[in-house]
Structure formats: C-alpha cells, structure tokens
Amino acid sequence: MPVANLSGTKLFYIEVGEGLPCLVMHGGLGFDHSSLHPWLDPLGKEMHLIYYDHRGNGRSGRPPLETLTFEQFCSDADALRKHLGFEKVAVLGYSFGGFIALEYALRYPERLRHLILLDTAPAFNYGEEIEANARRKGATQEQLEALDAAADDEAEFWDLLNLIAPLYFHNFDADLAERVLGKTIVCVEAAEAGEAITEEWDLTARLGEISVPTLILVGRDDFITPPSQARIMHERIPNSELVVFERSGHFPHVEEPEAFFATVRGWLKLT
C-alpha cells in the first residue's frame, strides 16, 4: 500500500477513481479511513478519491503526540496534495475530518476547489445537545456514561465503541456496523489528542471566509454532529448547499447510499 514520507512521518493513502482530485479526511481521532473506504468508492466515477490516515492514526506513522494539531493535520494534507502532483483539490471531511477540512479551507483557500462536509460541525461545544439527542434515541445510562469515558487501551476502546455504536445509526444493524467499523485500526492516544484539541476549538465566526462551492450533508438522526450544526454552517458559508438525509444517523453514505451518491453527483455537475 502507498505510503508518503511527509512532514516527519509516514502517511498511508489509497487512490480510487479518476476526475476531480479529492482528499478524503476520516473521522476520529483514533480511527482511520476504513469507515469511508470502500463505501465512497462509487464516487470514483466522478472523483479521484485519495483516502488517507491522519498522522498518529490508522496505518500512518506515530509521530510525537504534540504534533497532532490542526495546523499540522492541514500541513500534512497539503503536503500530500503536492506529493501527488495536484495544483488544486476538493476536500471531503467526515466527522472530525470535517473539522480538519474546515481548517484546511481557511488555511489553504488557494488550493481548494470544492468542499464537502459530511456529518460534521464548526465547533464541538454543544455537549448538552449531544446528550439530549442520545436520550431521545433511547440511550441507556451505561451508554451515556460511555460517551464521556476515555479508554485506557485498545480493548477498552472497542468495548466502549461497541456499546455506543447503535446511537450512530438510524436503524442499527449489528452486521452492517461490523462491516463499517470492524476493520478500523484504532489508536487510543490519538483519540485523547483529538479530545484535547477540540476543547476550545470553534470556527463558527470564520465560516463566512469560505468561498468555494460547499456541500453540507447530514443524517436527520445524527446525534453527535446533528442537523443543527449543519444549519449553522449552511447559514454562514456563502456558497453552500445543505442536504439532510431523513433515514440516516452518522453514516448517510452507508444508510442511504442511493440518495447520498445522487446528491453528490448532482451537486458536482452544477458546480
């Protein structure tokens, strides 16, 4: 599998498709690209998808944890763009990857052609709403406690993830969840770093600076990055479109694939 030696570490990446080059930024932190690949591969007919693992995550290198910052994640993404020979790219950011995508749009606007924000938010300061959404979905007390728990090791990470996984879907199917999440290479240390750097992170006031065509996608039943956050981005990003998938949670590309791909393809044709 391809690995690029960039910015003092190794970045693992996979290329699928042809057309508009698109950096695909996965969620987490502590996860990897496998909840997106091969699920997004049908977009390979329109886009040259570059799935990659952020530094400290998945199959990428394990540099010092203090290098896991938004500035460095964006620098890595741009170094990968340059390494692959692209003048400009689209960026698709999912969940935490959407946080990085927003940062990239503000830090490297001259390198960005299109922005796709999938189940993400411009800040992570709405814990009360997350809890309320989880309760609405029928979360148990054990699940609510797990949402705030930190894992000490990989085994505990998986125990917590398996406990709260039903909350991330509109209609939970254990087999589907296993296929989406089961190949993940987790990193507990990266997850802790992610929590630390989002503690006071908030780009809401700067969203108006993003001028590229932006597509904002969210599942109606997404409890963790809910439609309310998608609406904030849509209201503040000038050239944006918002689409809500009515029968999806945090994985509309998996739960409603036909509607998802039709939406993205239609938007790309118009932009």
Across the chain, which has 271 residues, the per-10-residue mean pLDDT values are 92 97 97 98 97 98 97 98 98 98 98 98 97 98 95 95 97 97 96 94 98 98 98 98 98 98 97 92
Number of domains in the chain: 1
CATH of the domain at 162: 3.40.50.1820
Query: For 134, left (φ over 0), alpha (ψ -120 to 50), or beta?
Result: alpha
Q: What is the per-residue DSSP string for 202-254?
A: B-GGGGGG--S-EEEEEETT-SSS-HHHHHHHHHHSTTEEEEEETT-SS-HHH
Pairing of strands 3-6, 112-118: unpaired
Q: Does the pTM of the predicted model rise above 0.75?
A: yes
Give 128's contacts (C-beta < 8 A, 6+ positions apart): none
Task: Report pLDDT for 1.
Answer: 72
- How close are the terminal C-alpha atoms of the chain, in Å? 33
Task: Report pLDDT for 101.
Answer: 98
Contact 204, 236 (CB under 8 A): yes
Q: Angle of helix 96-107 relative to helix 70-83, nearest 10 degrees?
A: 70
Provide the domain limits for residue 232: 3-270
Contact 86, 18 (CB under 8 A): no
